[in-house]
Amino acid sequence: MSYILCIETSTQVCSVAISQNGECIHVDQLELGNKHSAGLTTLIKRVLAIANMQMSDISAIAISDGPGSYTGLRVGASTAKGMCYALSIPLIAIPTLAAISDHAISSLDIDADIYIPTIDARRMEVYAAQYISDACLLSTHSLIYTDDSLAKIVAQHPDRSIAIIGDGAQKLQEQDEITIPPSISIHPYGCSATHMCRLASIYHDARQHVDVAYHAPHYYKSPKITKPKARI
């Protein structure tokens, strides 16, 4: 029997789930903004306590591997790596966009040929990928929502239904000035550790682990750092 602790910190919502053979048995979350370090360990302890489990019961730890919040991903990875070292258990890295897409394909009633999972980046930009309905990855890229960019996506997949899903889909839904082509449907939902459970089990069974010492999340974009104003 395999229990995996799944940690999702790619957005302002931090969530932790425990999976048993690919099924989520408990999940909890907090909206922490950019303060994941303040609440993640507390959230892990709370989830374990509610599930009546100890850390020694965990077979592996899975992290959301990006793209997403630079701070959140860094905190999630460093916390998980510290626990993996202490417990001598493997680390699993789940691409954030893959988890979003897998949730839509395996769990939601969304009928589409092409799935475009999205994560809010900045302004009108999102991190995006393209998957076909059998979960095969076509591409990963950044996307700025415009009439032209949506028309280009439709042109890439003529006569196919397209679902824009995930955290960044709400941003498109809120843009009244952008015309949504008929072949595109929008399905906004936040990232959650529950979306990682099935893939984490598959990766673990296949021994698709990452190096605890050297692995770093895939940020896809440099952190936004502002310099303090000079004092006069």
Question: Domain containing 181: what range?
Answer: 97-188
What angle in degrees, to the nearest 10, is found between the helix axes of 36-50 and 70-87?
A: 50
Q: Do residues 133 and 182 share a domain? A: yes
Q: Output the domain CATH number for residue 46.
A: 3.30.420.40
Please report the pLDDT score of residue 32 as a whole number.
66
Residue 211 lies in a domain: no
Q: Are residues 92 and 196 in the same domain?
A: yes
10 and 90 in one domain? yes
User: Are 88 and 30 in the same domain?
Assistant: yes
Is 230 a member of any domain?
no
> Is residue 67 situated within a structural domain?
yes
Are residues 107 and 48 part of one domain?
no
The verdict on 92 and 197 lying in the same domain is yes
Query: What are phi and psi for residue 127, nearest 5 degrees?
Result: -80, 140
User: Is 220 a domain residue?
Assistant: no
- Rounded Cα distance between 33 and 126, Å, is 18
Please check whether residues 197 and 170 belong to one and the same domain. no
Asked if residue 65 belongs to a domain, the reply is: yes
How many other C-beta atoms can be found within 10 angstroms of the C-beta atom of residue 176? Answer: 6
Neighbours of 154 (CB within 10 A): 16
The answer to whether residue 107 is domain-embedded is: yes
Kindly state whether residues 60 and 118 are assigned to the same domain: no
* 111 and 162 share one domain: yes
Dist CA 125 CA 144 (whole Å): 4
Q: Is 139:93 a contact under the CB 8 Å cutoff?
A: no
Alpha helices in 56-121 (DSSP H): 70-87, 96-107
Stated pTM of the model: 0.90
Number of domains observed in the structure of the chain:
2
Distance in angstroms (rounded) separating the CA atoms of residues 225 and 80? 25
Split the chain (232 residues) into runs of 10 and give each run's mean pLDDT.
Answer: 92 92 92 74 93 95 94 93 96 96 90 93 88 84 93 95 94 90 95 95 96 91 50 49
Indicate whether 90 and 106 sit together in one domain: no
Helix (H) or strand (E) holding 9: none
8, 91: one domain: yes
Does one domain contain both 87 and 201?
A: yes
Cα dihedral 190, 191, 193, 199 sign: positive
| Measured distance CA(9)–CA(101) in Å, rounded | 17
Q: Report yes or no on 198 lying in a domain.
A: yes
Task: Tell whether 232 is covered by a domain.
Answer: no
